[in-house]
Structure 1
Amino acid sequence: MPQSPSAASRDEPVIRDRGDACPGALRLHAADDGFLARVRIPGGMLGGAAALLLADAADRLGDGHLDLTSRGNVQLRGLGESCGGELAGLLAGAGLLPAPTHERVRNIVSSPLAGLDRLGLPDVSPWVAELDALLCASDAAAGLSGRFLFALDDGRGDVTSLAADVNLVPDGDDRARLWAGDPREAVLVSSQDAPRAALAAAEYFLDAVREAGTRAWRVAELPPEHALSGARLAQRLADAGVCAAVAATDPSARSVRTPEPGIVPGPDGTVSLSVLAPLGRLGTAQWRRLAALTGRVRLTPWRGIVVPGVPGHVAAAALAGLAEAGLVTAPDSPWRSVTACTGKPGCAKALADVRADARAVTERARGPLAVHWSGCERRCGHPRGSAWVDLVATPAGYDLHVEGRAPRRGVPEHELAAALADARHADHVRHNLPDSVQK
């Protein structure tokens, strides 16, 4: 299976000869179906009014859809070449452009169910707003790549599984464990100082990039001799007035608990509704329905949406309504672990309309293993880890890859459903999957 640069070994550093070209809300990307804007939503946390303004932008300026990304952000597609100023005005009015110079670096994921379920884990959501404000106020942070990622995990292991560059996890009473890249190089800081320490870790990375003379976008791309050190991070924090200590090796094995579709009982008598958007794409009618339920949504890095604060007595009816609207509301849905890149006609490099092909066979190709459809060898948006079926469009059909098996080349259309179903039941990898994927 292909490795992404963030997962590459330090023995094989990635060499960059240019800055990253990640799209943003102000830097639009030209695609075959028009221009694309990527709007960063730190922690995936979005108020209802801002969500409705995004829907208005999609209808007025785009193709009437909103795409969810693997970092809990939103993309608008089909934009006109001259709409940039109007879009920026709409987003600024929604509070989604607090610092235009920093809008591409506001890449923060957090545990979507933090503070919303009954696991009793610390609520890390207040860290999101604080870190975002610190990022936007830091001149140095504007130099981060649009791919640099912060993960604020409440201890369930969901977002620390995403190979983020800077990770924060609560560690006992009033402490947080912080690491940049390698969890063996963690430091302990107070919970109060955690967002400030996370920003300091990112600035340490930028200094390491300058010292190395590279143009690394991610921590994992630094040459081995410039790898970030927990001891040096602790010293930098101390110099900045933040009390920090090198952490002992973390003995705990965190299970990865991603949100299941359905009703999530909360600690305060209300519940949250957790749904997924098939292939991460919603129409504006679906989006508005979600935004109107309680005036709050949380977007997940798994192309899902959590609606918090739903009164328990209306939750079942509300969830049924979302199912009728075409959203995934049950954990046994065949769409639960199926993802795809944009494919044709939106991407010039794609060799197939992967979303149409996925819709044609998913009901007949169920299985526990995740599957990702790619329109070309770049495999944009593929899942993290190795336990997934990799379908790559070629001029001769789809190549089908699953770890531990020889690839099937050029699978014809009439054999695709059967071949994919067989691959999704690969017994030799199934026993290594997290419980949340096997369900």
Structure 2
Amino acid sequence: MNILVLGGGGREHAIAWALAQSPNCDDLFVAPGNGGTAQIAENIATLDVDSGAAVLGFSRDHDIDMVVIGPEAPLVAGVADVLREAGIAVFGPDAQGARLEGSKTYSKQFMEDNGIPTARYASFTELDPALAYIRELGAPIVVKADGLAAGKGVFVAETEEVAEDAVRSCFDGAFGDAGSTVLIEECLTGPECSLLAFVTNGHAFCMTTAQDHKRAFDGDRGPNTGGMGVYSPVPIVTDEELAEMRRIMEVAAAATAKEPFEHDYRGVLYGGFMLTPEGPKVLEFNARFGDPETQVVLPRLESDLVEVMYAVAQGRFEDIDLRWSDTWAVCVVLASEGYPGAYEKGKVILGIDEAEDLKGVTVFHAGTALNSDGELITAGGRVLNVVALGESFDDAREAAYDAVDLINFEGKQYRTDIGKRAASGRGAWE
């Protein structure tokens, strides 16, 4: 099969890496791609991935058999709709399904309609009612830009004043149109956990658990980011909690086979959970693979990803068979100095080959590119995802940080405590 992957981050490098290992993968293209995907596929830097017409034209010109949509923006823009109507297999939901991520208010209503446990909330398009609701609920409280904000439009406010400032920043245009509606919800307590599922024709095929680290600095301090590290599986999840999360994902998947979704939700449904004292509750649904969760989930997948994705794209749920390794995976994100704020690009990266010589280590590129001299350089906020597999959690963590020490670029920024809290047991959240 000829396959086109849309996206240029660490998630897309991990997806392309897994697809390239399949004997069913012939020509592989990634648009726009990055310095890592260039080593395993042909990068298409000029393709407008948010344009259904452009992606369709490229697919026809290159005899593409399946398009895999990585980021949320092309999904919300309806790229999958255009391709499916033209008869091209697409891994990724249509625009209606993507609203589960594109609008947090819509997603919350979906949860209410289907009896999915979540936090108490209200949404607002005007400042004064939003401020009044903050004072009614009190702090701590969570403020979210309703639309797509690249993982940065969420504020966990410890005081009412901070929450009010967050609401004002949304309405003042800090997140563009994404902040024109603001969601305010109660602050749930407990550890977070992600559970992703392949979804097609109303059936959910759950993957393995993962736990991201959103805050920029050690000790879960600093601003939210797109993710600074992750591991899989999550050792603190009980059997009862896992069963409940799977049940919730199955309920959500079944709902996508009904109006208004019908049968066009074919892709990944990402469940972001909080493990509260009352049981797992959904913080958010996303309509695609997580980043950086993908980077630890797919290396543990033993099934042929091409076969799985093609079955999902065609609605053949009866042909999906997921098999997972017993290894542990830990990912440490290397970021540019200043991320998630302003940062410089163009720093030369050294040591990746030496890092990947370590047993079980793979480095997925995120914000990288090649300069005019053919050198690998930084080209984004999150630069690299250093992933290590190990027979135990401790083995994987140690290998990941050994690899991190071998990679260098000016201003390298990373967290030193990825997985440390979970290694201490559930009591670390009490």
Q: TM-score when scaled to structure 2? A: 0.33
